[in-house]
Structure 1
Amino acid sequence: MSLLRYEDLCISFGEGRREKFAVNHLDLEIGIGERVALVGESGSGKTLTALAPLRLESEGAKVSGKILWNRKDGKGEVDLLSVPIQDIREIRGREIAMVFQEPMTALNPLFTVGNQIIEAVQIFQPLISKSDAIDAAVDLLRKTGIPEPERRFHSYPHQLSGGQRQRAMIAMALACKPRLLIADEPTTALDVSLRLQILDLLKELQEESKDEGGMGILLITHDLNLVKHFAQRVAVLNQGNLMESGSTKQVFEHPEDPYTRALVNSEPIRDLVPLMPLAPVLLKTEELSVAYPSSESVSWFKKAPPHKVLKKVSFALKQSQTIGVIGESGSGKTTLGMAVLGLLGDSSAEVSGDVDVLGNDWQKLKPVERRALRSSLQVIFQDPFGSLSPRMNVLQIVSEGLDVHFPKLSTAERETRVVDMLKEVGLDRSALLRYPHEFSGGQRQRIAIARALILRPQILVLDEPTSALDVSIQKQVLALLAELQKKYNLAYLMISHDLAVIRAMSHEVMVLKGGKVVEFGDTETMIKHPRQTYTKELIAAAELT
């Protein structure tokens, strides 16, 4: 029996000839106690489909069709699109709950996590006493696997890790014992091992809800590996159209639609140039350590020892080589990248050890000498939208490095170089005068790559370069990076928590845990025969073996 049923759902924006359909004649059903995954690329209409039952669609959206909800009291089905908004407010949270993509923005930063869960508990049980509500909130935190729930109850969102924030969001959503949980990209911002933990937690909580009639789950994601692990049925969306729907096994093993086939086969491909035996070392670190002063005091006159974020990391990166850096959040991956780039100077970080860039001691260089060397050492950041200035057009963004390192170039020469570089990354001249918000995520990342490569660097630090992108776009960006590496003999230090990306791109892998290197070696050897327990857990969580 169906719990929620979409019938001929259409969501459009604009009027007349400008009307665009974000969701187009969708028919989909979610059964009682069933786990259904809605997959597709960015802009396919997944989130709009998920928000429609709660009537949370964007301003200006026109919604038609039916969304039939099976009422708890056995009074049959009700069309959620035709009931008054006051009745929908009764259903929100109580019967249909939602876990949003980014817990940091979904949680209120001014209230403790405990207070926010109590609010949800009191909606479900308005007559509950304050002490019982606190006990219920602590119990929910315990159920969702948060360590020390009594202490975490008093924490603010910023004091929790990404995984703990997401667990707190799930605790809030489950406070009212909903019959349908809509999870919109609940694991996007999390590590591989944490992703599986969150999904296993949702499965456990679903099992526990069977005594109260069961809970259906609608999972929205573009991570196909998670769908295999979690969902019983899959629906594939493309530009608002339902391309294919069926059991997870059937859709993954025998996809019928060409789009689904392309999506299933969009795993990154390993296409690396073998390393030259006498390739020169371009970047070398010796016992590189980073520590931050502690804010706590041991006694009246004594400060606690500094908190070590990176502990004696040593490696050598050769020409045309890629070293992958993996590890969970907080393991020191990004700190390593920032230390190598010399971008920790203005923070309170204490950096020790040696960093050698193209034969120069990076730590001892004067600011002027360091700036001159920066053209050889460039970085591509995780979020292309955050790293590109919204006030500058593409010509200004890509040529910014030329203004610093080649100030004598004429305007025409500068523009010619920018156009040539954009062609290299698959963009044409028409992009020059457009702004970042006018491009898709994949195109923005290509602009960031063009900005870094226009100075002809020898070393690139890639900090999660594809984590914000869909699987098919991710594959294109990785193929571009591999092609550019072959063409210009670039050396990459690639930081990622996506092991499939690291496997496709890296000659060697460094595994970080708590700031320490726990394992370092050839990529394929390590993935097939990991020595350390921690590495085995990471690889098992990514299901690469």
Structure 2
Amino acid sequence: MNTLLRYEDLSISFGTGRREKFAVSHLDLEIGVGERVALVGESGSGKTLTALAPLRLEPEGAKMTGRIWWSGQEDAQQQSATQPVDLLSLPIERIRRIRGREIAMVFQEPMTALNPLFTVGNQIVEAVQIYEPLISKADCFAAAVDLLRKTGIPEPEKRFHSYPHQLSGGQRQRAMIAMALACKPRLLIADEPTTALDVSLRLQILDLLKALQEESKDHGGMGILLITHDLNLVKHFAHRVAVLNQGNLVEVGATKRVFEHPENPYTQTLVNSEPVRDLAPVMPLAPVLLQADNLSVSYPSLDSESWFKKAPRHSVLKKIGFGLKQGQTIGVIGESGSGKTTLGMAILGLLSDSAAEVTGSVDVLGHDWQKLTSAERRKLRASLQVIFQDPFGSLSPRMTVMQIIVEGLDIHFPKLSSAEREQRVLDILREVGIDRSALTRYPHEFSGGQRQRIAIARALILRPQILVLDEPTSALDVSIQKQILALLTELQKKYNLAYLMISHDLAVIRAMSHEIMVLKGGKMVEFGETETLIKHPKQTYTKELFEAAEIT
């Protein structure tokens, strides 16, 4: 196999002298023509920096040493491969000609990477015109539509004129892949291309990359470097796996060998980081703490209204009903747009200030949530708390840990003395495994797992009975995810908490849930005991979800 890209003794550091810190240390790795290599490791291991280095997109202040040999360029006259060049020694003007044309990149978050002011079609056309300025507008349009069609976007001629916000998450990711492949690159670097997608969409995106790689054989073959923390996808996609730990390459090998016989202790930890099911059974006479009946949510339709007819409302949640008991976890699953997050927000009463119309009833601890005044709801909020997906986004960057956690006590328990409030904060930090030295620090000074522990502490200090968990581990690495899930399980057993857990990670749902609710298009299509539902799903949609996640 011919080598496309080869890292030779690559080191990336920040700072100078005694303050110099190495994010990547003496990395040696190669990607061959037509090969798929996955680079895995926890946050901060150096994966993204390694991916950005060949395109010279490293952050300001980064110092790179070593060599990155590129063999993918072709001689313009001979149409044959030329001698390898060291990308770190090339002038930036030459690197700009390599970007997109020879090495393309798919970034993690398409909403950030795509320009919101231009249609996706025009952004693809722009990529083509930069490298083929003589091509006509009609040919550019045809090429862009063909790429959208190849990447599986429905009605590509229509979607050409759509803006990024008008596409679903999966469609935006496909559009970005189309843009990256517009110039038929020899190497595609995909940095967490499936993180924000549902499990079925993840497999679709990777199947798409495989198909496009197969098509690339007509023009020399394309290599793929995949950056991900989803080990299940790596098993199905990569020929080889490279494992990074704190900037050091600790293991490289064929995918099957690494997963079945990992040699490095860190790799063994990663491979064995699947969530563990360790739930306490729900007591037979446990009271129902949260009851929803015929819960529906709708928004104003985007269709225009006429003088004679009012536009119909768009329903996103349709007649949902369930009861959540003390000490029980109900897992909510479904694809993007199925209504999972809307259900959580409706339960929490956080849709009242939007254009949403909420009908039906939500009973919280015997009180009809929809009929309560704002003051009455505020009193109940201590008993009904939420833990959000992104701990960094949900924690104020201008407040210390002490201020973040004590804020709820100031509102709901104003009669507590300063000493009592501080003691409660220290007690809850101990519960979630955070040292008291964290009190005066700010959220940016902590890792993702530590920030999520702080978010859990903020919710638990009010001694709630019900917690809504909205994707509480999706932003975390697999090993940290396992720790947080174990913590949530331990806290549920200790305080008999009721959880409504929303997630697209079916392994997490299986480990944490007593019962599972399956949503599709805003409707509940199936509901039942976890293991029974997984082994004997009644609906084809449910079966497809589980098969995509390989948990049947």
Report the TM-score, using the length of structure 1 for normalisation: 0.99
Question: Which of 402, 426, 432 is the aligned partner of 1:425?
Answer: 432
The 5-angstrom pairing of residues 404-423 of structure 1 reads 404-423=411-430
Matching residue of 1:260? 267
Counterpart of 2:68 in structure 1: which amino acid? I
Query: Over the residues paired in the alignment, what is the CA RMSD in angstroms?
Result: 0.8
The 5-angstrom pairing of residues 81-480 of structure 1 reads 81-297=88-304, 299-480=306-487
> Any idea what SS the aligned residue of 2:398 has?
coil
| Partner Cα distance (2:100, 2:310) in 1 | 46
> Any idea what SS the aligned residue of 1:432 has?
helix
Which shifted more, 293-302 or 15-24?
293-302
> Any idea what SS the aligned residue of 1:345 has?
coil
Counterpart of 2:327 in structure 1: which amino acid? S
Matching residue of 1:508? 515
| Partner Cα distance (1:301, 1:88) in 2 | 60
What are the Cα deviations for residues 89-123 of structure 1, in whole angstroms up to 9, with x where unaligned?
11110000000000000000111111100001112
> Any idea what SS the aligned residue of 1:395 has?
helix
Matching residue of 1:6? 7
Matching residue of 2:53? 52
Matching residue of 2:78? none
State the 1:298 CA deviation: 5.1
What are the Cα deviations for residues 178-233 of structure 1, in whole angstroms up to 9, with x where unaligned?
00000000000111000000000000000001111100000000000010010000
Count of residues in Structure 1 that have an aligned counterpart in Structure 2: 545
State the 1:302 CA deviation: 1.8
- Which runs of at least 4 in structure 1 moved beyond 3 Å after TM superposition? 298-301
| Partner Cα distance (2:441, 2:305) in 1 | 55
Counterpart of 2:363 in structure 1: which amino acid? D
State the 1:528 CA deviation: 1.2
Q: Is the 8 A contact 1:290 1:350 kept in 2?
A: yes
Question: Which of 71, 74, 98 is the aligned partner of 1:72?
Answer: 74
| Partner Cα distance (1:178, 1:131) in 2 | 22
State the 1:354 CA deviation: 1.1
Q: Is the 8 A contact 1:94 1:124 kept in 2?
A: yes
| Partner Cα distance (2:419, 2:272) in 1 | 43
| Partner Cα distance (2:310, 2:95) in 1 | 54
| Partner Cα distance (1:254, 1:498) in 2 | 25
What are the Cα deviations for residues 217-259 of structure 1, in whole angstroms up to 9, with x where unaligned?
0000000001001000000000000010000000000000000
> Any idea what SS the aligned residue of 2:5 has?
strand
> Any idea what SS the aligned residue of 1:5 has?
strand
State the 1:72 CA deviation: 2.2
Q: Is the 8 A contact 1:10 1:24 kept in 2?
A: yes
Q: Is the 8 A contact 1:294 1:303 kept in 2?
A: no
| Partner Cα distance (1:106, 1:324) in 2 | 32
| Partner Cα distance (1:193, 1:124) in 2 | 34
Q: Does 1:536 align with 2:543?
A: yes
State the 1:428 CA deviation: 1.2
Counterpart of 1:52 in structure 2: which amino acid? A
> Any idea what SS the aligned residue of 1:81 has?
helix
| Partner Cα distance (2:230, 2:222) in 1 | 22
What are the Cα deviations for residues 313-371 of structure 1, in whole angstroms up to 9, with x where unaligned?
00000000000000011100011111111111101111111111111111111222211
Counterpart of 1:490 in structure 2: which amino acid? L
Matching residue of 2:28? 27
Which shifted more, 365-374 or 92-101?
365-374
Q: Is the 8 A contact 1:12 1:62 kept in 2?
A: yes
Counterpart of 1:316 in structure 2: which amino acid? G
| Partner Cα distance (1:55, 1:335) in 2 | 41
What are the Cα deviations for residues 255-274 of structure 1, in whole angstroms up to 9, with x where unaligned?
00000000000000000001
State the 1:296 CA deviation: 1.6
> Any idea what SS the aligned residue of 2:253 has?
strand
What are the Cα deviations for residues 124-144 of structure 1, in whole angstroms up to 9, with x where unaligned?
321001111011111110110
What are the Cα deviations for residues 134-191 of structure 1, in whole angstroms up to 9, with x where unaligned?
1111111011000111111001111111000000000000000000000000000111
Report the TM-score, using the length of structure 2 for normalisation: 0.98
State the 1:430 CA deviation: 0.3
Counterpart of 1:246 in structure 2: which amino acid? G
State the 1:411 CA deviation: 1.3
What are the Cα deviations for residues 474-506 of structure 1, in whole angstroms up to 9, with x where unaligned?
000000000000000000000000000000000
| Partner Cα distance (1:395, 1:217) in 2 | 45
> Any idea what SS the aligned residue of 2:139 has?
helix
| Partner Cα distance (1:544, 1:260) in 2 | 22
Between the two proteins, what is the percent identity of the paired residues? 83
What are the Cα deviations for residues 62-89 of structure 1, in whole angstroms up to 9, with x where unaligned?
1000100113232211111111111111
What are the Cα deviations for residues 3-49 of structure 1, in whole angstroms up to 9, with x where unaligned?
10000000000111111110000000100110000000000000000
| Partner Cα distance (1:272, 1:153) in 2 | 48
